């Protein structure tokens, strides 16, 4: 008896996108497109009738927008949703809002009628990962109030740090579920910590909106990395979508390198590229590095390089991960010294730099 196929419902007002997505998904023997819908009202009845395992959802649709539908769906009948969003500033903001509302992941929608490209391969991978996910019940998220002028940054007070080597560094990598996981970590960090470098697997053009959102919510200066940026205390650099982020040590500071290059683990930016670059420039004994939620194995090899050279390393635990793929790989290969629940990650990071040793030793290793 053959295994049951993953049942997918496609919701999109574009007939072209519905056709391209259906053809791409039906070509995979493990997936069956059980139906399509042109808007949320049509989708509502088909969800009840067809009982899909995963939904793909357009954001901009007539009669009811995708965000409103997603919020209702996640409150009344939670299920894995892959959001397809346009490559625009507005589309990027909508994609991030969809993730906040509980979407499993987002994909950049093709910009033209025949520009599906490798989106089909990405969509298949995300649908398979989503189908194996058990959604945790979550309270309805608070509505985000959008201001014409960003509000002042949260008043998170600095913490008293011990004397740190100027090479002290924080490295974070994430994929599926990572935008919200990183938000939960970053908003809890004080502004006087060492520089932070972040790789989040995210579509090109979405990364700037992601960095801007983190900056508006946190006490840190979060921004999308530009080649040559100086990584200073209180600064968090986010790898641009479709580019690798590397670090170099120049005299007395870290310098960001934003480079093209082949995908690693089917990803660009890749967490392994960031971690290995930090290891190569001698930062490991002064580094706290961790891998958060995500599918695949990216980050595990680079994290192991850092641990072997003296870094404090961790991985998000299974219970708090949306997808326990990258953290599992980092723990099972010995790269992560410990697993930490997401709500405790920020406090763990702060403790590594706030230890009252009064020395310039790299770290005091604590649990």
Q: Residue 310's domain is classified under what CATH number?
A: 3.40.50.180
Q: Looking up tokens 């001698």, which residue turns up?
A: 282
* Domain annotation covers residue 361: no
Q: What is the dihedral of CA 255, 259, 262, 266, to 10 degrees?
A: 70
- Pair 204, 333 in one domain: yes
Instruction: Output the pLDDT for position 313.
Output: 98
CA distance 349 to 288: 7
Q: How far apart are CA 39 and CA 193, in angstroms?
A: 46
Catalytic machinery residues: 175, 201, 298
Residues 179 and 113 in one domain: no
Residue 249 included in any domain: yes
DSSP assignment of 254-268, as one string? EEEEEE----BTTBS
Distance between CA atoms of residues 208 and 221, nearest Å: 13
Domain assignment present for residue 154? The answer is no
**How many domains does the chain divide into?**
2
Q: What is the residue range of 67's domain?
A: 6-131
266 and 188 share a domain?
A: yes
* Residue 101: alpha-carbon gap to chain centroid: 14
Question: In this predicted structure, what is the pLDDT of residue 122?
Answer: 86
Q: Is residue 252 domain-resident?
A: yes
Q: Say yes or no: 114 and 252 in one domain.
A: no
What pLDDT, on a 0 to 100 scale, did the predictor assign at position 229?
96
Minimal CA–CA distance to 203: which of 101, 97, 282, 110?
A: 110
Residues 204 and 123 in one domain: no
- For position 11, which CATH number holds? 3.40.50.2300
Task: Clarify whether residues 83 and 179 are in a common domain.
Answer: no
Q: Which helix (H) or strand (E) holds 342?
A: helix 342-354
Q: What's the whole-model pTM score?
A: 0.86
Please indicate, yes or no, if residue 365 is contained in any of the structural domains.
Answer: no
Predicted local distance difference test score (pLDDT) of residue 1: 58
**139 assigned to some structural domain:** no
Cα–Cα distance measured from residue 215 to residue 204, given in angstroms and rounded to the nearest whole number: 19
Q: Does residue 189 belong to any structural domain of this protein?
A: yes
40: tokens are 């949320």
**Residues 292, 320 contacting (CB under 8 angstroms):** no
Q: How far apart are CA 361 and CA 320, in angstroms?
A: 32
**Pairwise CA distance, residues 166 & 184, whole Å:** 26
> Mean pLDDT, 10 residues at a time, over the chain (367 residues)?
87 90 93 95 93 93 89 92 79 88 86 63 90 60 40 69 88 95 96 96 88 94 96 96 95 94 91 97 94 95 97 97 94 97 96 65 45
């Amino acid at each position: 008896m053959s295994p049951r196929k993953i049942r997918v419902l496609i919701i999109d007002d574009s007939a072209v996108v519905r056709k391209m997505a259906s053809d791409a998904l039906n070509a995979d023997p493990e997936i069956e497109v059980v139906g399509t819908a042109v808007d949320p009202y049509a989708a509502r009845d088909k969800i009840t009738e067809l009982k899909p395992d995963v939904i793909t959802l357009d954001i901009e649709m007539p009669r009811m927008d995708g965000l409103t539908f997603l919020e209702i769906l996640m409150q009344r009948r939670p299920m894995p949703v892959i959001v397809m969003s346009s490559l625009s500033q507005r589309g990027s903001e909508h994609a991030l809002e969809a993730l906040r509302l509980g979407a499993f992941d987002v994909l950049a929608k093709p910009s033209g009628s025949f520009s599906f490209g490798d989106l089909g391969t990405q969509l298949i991978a995300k649908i398979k990962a989503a189908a194996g996910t058990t959604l945790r019940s979550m309270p309805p998220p608070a509505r985000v109030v959008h201001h014409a002028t960003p509000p002042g940054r949260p008043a998170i007070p600095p913490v008293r740090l011990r004397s740190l080597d100027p090479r002290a560094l924080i490295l974070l990598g994430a994929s599926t579920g990572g935008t919200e996981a990183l938000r939960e970590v970053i908003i809890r960090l004080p502004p006087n910590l060492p520089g932070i470098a972040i790789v989040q697997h995210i579509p090109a053009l979405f990364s700037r909106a992601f960095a801007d959102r983190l900056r508006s919510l946190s006490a840190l200066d979060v921004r999308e990395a530009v080649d040559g940026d100086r990584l200073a205390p209180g600064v968090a650099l986010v790898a641009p979508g479709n580019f690798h982020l590397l670090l170099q040590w120049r005299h007395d500071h870290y310098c960001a390198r934003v480079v093209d290059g082949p995908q690693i683990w089917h990803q660009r930016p890749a967490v392994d590229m960031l971690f290995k670059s930090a290891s190569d420039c001698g930062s490991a004994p002064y580094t706290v590095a961790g891998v958060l939620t995500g599918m695949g194995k990216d980050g595990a090899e680079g994290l192991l390089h850092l641990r072997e050279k003296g870094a404090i390393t961790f991985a998000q635990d299974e219970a708090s991960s949306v997808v326990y793929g990258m953290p599992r790989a980092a723990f099972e290969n010995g790269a992560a010294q410990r697993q930490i629940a997401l709500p405790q990650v920020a406090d763990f990071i702060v403790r590594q730099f706030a230890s009252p040793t009064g020395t310039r030793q790299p770290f005091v290793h604590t649990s």
